[in-house]
Amino acid sequence: SEKRLQGERWRMFDLESARLSEQRLLIAASLKLAIEEDQLNLHFQPQICLETGDIVGCEALLRWHHPALGAIGPDTFIPIAESSGVINQLTEWVVAKGIEWQARFCELIPEHVISINISAKDLLNKDLPVLFITKLNELGVSADSVMLELTESATLEESKNIKITLDDYRLIGVKLAIDDFGTGYSSLAYLSQLGFDEVKIDKQFVLNLAFSLNDQSICKATCDIAKTLGAKVVAEGIEDPQSLAILQRYGCQIGQGYYFSKPLEADDYLLWIKNFKSVDVSHDVKAHLVD
Ligand code: C2E
Ligand code: MG
Ligand code: MG
Ligand code: MG
């Protein structure tokens, strides 16, 4: 009967995974429609200069409201979009909309920079650099006010072709950031070779910064590495003033997180900018820090 029980468990497990892959197929199929049927939306999360407390710009974050399934998060649908091939269309939508909004944001803050997430698979899309040039020209947005965020895994996957593709983007004049730093596998030599303008520390190392000596070591080391490479550091996931103060101490220049603001709809972000008074960034470090 023990054996039978195990068999039951396996059957349940299979049903579960069948249901999961069924859901993946459903999501993949619906994503194609999502673009045409206007179910996508961009949210914007402010990035703050930790030295002055001023707005530097924002990160554009994709949102999807499925008519039957409701809100589906990008952590769920982006990997499905990547494996089902619909990611290129999604990114083209994000880039076009992102640059349109950036034109509006720049009317209020001329130095405003917009960061846009790009997947590894997008680097193989030859239409994408063309779209960038077209959109930037059409809207009079300067290329160096747009930052492409690439994940470490993205830069490793296609390592040979990536340098060539990134050179295309450099020629256009957009900036490059390495996203989720510390969660991938790229070597330091590799990092320096690709010449990123910005290194983004993943929020998993920032959320508990005041209480984790381990995370402090990682953040401090990342800031030191970035400095050596001539890149700026952005920390995401800042939720409290202590984390802000610690990152500041390590020389991290830019912060992003719920402490400043959650990602906002475009109209709310515009309002947020209009009412903005520089953030108080003069907090003392009270936590016990690693040396
Ligand atoms: P990411 O690029 O690392 O974006 C940062 C994520 O951290 C966002 O989650 C943001 O809402 C969240 N976050 C920021 N500050 C805080 C904080 O203080 N506390 C907490 N708990 N979370 C914070 P989101 O919007 O759910 O996006 C998740 C991931 O989905 C992104 O991670 C990115 O990898 C991907 N993604 C989002 N939009 C796009 C897109 O347009 N294209 C692509 N390719 N990927 C995207
Ligand atoms: Mg990002
Ligand atoms: Mg990130
Ligand atoms: Mg992240």
Q: What percent of the chain has pLDDT over 70?
A: 90
Q: Which of 35, 59, 78 has most ligand 1 atoms within 8 Å of its beta carbon, as the pocket-test mutant?
A: 78
Beta-sheet pairing, 198-201 with 175-181: parallel
The string over 53-64, giving b where at least 16 C-beta atoms fall within 10 Å of a residue's C-beta and e elsewhere, is bebbbbbbbbbb
Question: 């949102």: which residue's tokens?
Answer: 63
Both tokens of 161, joined, read: 């072709």
CA distance 91 to 131: 11
Most informative mutation of 45, 114, 236 for ligand 1 (most atoms within 8 A of CB): 236
pTM of the model: 0.93
As a whole number of angstroms, the distance between CA 34 and CA 102 comes to: 23
Which residue shows structure tokens 């020209």? 137
157-161: average pLDDT: 64
The three-point CA angle 272-275-276 to 5° equals 80
Per-residue pLDDT tens digits for 216-274: 999 999 999 999 999 999 999 999 999 999 999 999 999 999 999 999 999 999 999 99
What band does 22 get if pLDDT is binned at 50, 70 and 90?
confident
pLDDT band at 156 (very low <50, low <70, confident <90, very high): low
Average pLDDT over residues 50-75: 96
Average pLDDT, the chain: 90
For the ranges 83-92, 156-165, 238-247, the lowest mean pLDDT is seen at 156-165
Q: What is the DSSP string of the chain?
A: -HHHHHHHHHHHHHHHHHHHHHHHHHHHHHHHHHHHTT-EEEEEEEEEETTT--EEEEEEEEEEEETTTEEE-HHHHHHHHHHHT-HHHHHHHHHHHHHHHHHHHHHH-TT-EEEEEE-GGGGG-THHHHHHHHHHHHHT--GGGEEEEEEHHHHHHTHHHHHHHHHHHHHHT-EEEEEEETSS---HHHHHHHT-SEEEEPGGGTTTGGG-HHHHHHHHHHHHHHHHHT-EEEEE---SHHHHHHHHHTT--EEESTTT---EEHHHHHHHHHT-------PPP-S----
Report the complex ipTM: 0.99
Cα 79 to averaged position of ligand 1 atoms, centre (Å): 13
CA-CA-CA-CA dihedral for 46, 141, 149, 167, to nearest 10: -160
The pLDDT assigned to 182 comes to 83
Cα 81 from Cα 132, distance rounded (Å)? 21
Q: Which residues line ligand 1 (CB under 6 A)?
A: 45, 61-62, 73-75, 78, 94, 117, 119, 149, 179-180, 203, 236-239, 256-258, 263
For residue 187, how far is its CA from the centre of ligand 4 (angstroms)? 19
Q: Is the pLDDT of residue 7 over 80?
A: no
Among 90-94, 156-160, 189-193, 198-202, whose mean pLDDT is lowest? 156-160
Task: Supply the pLDDT for residue 154.
Answer: 65
Ligand 1 centroid to 61 CA: how many Å? 6
Q: How far is the CA of 14 from the centre of ligand 4 (A)?
A: 31
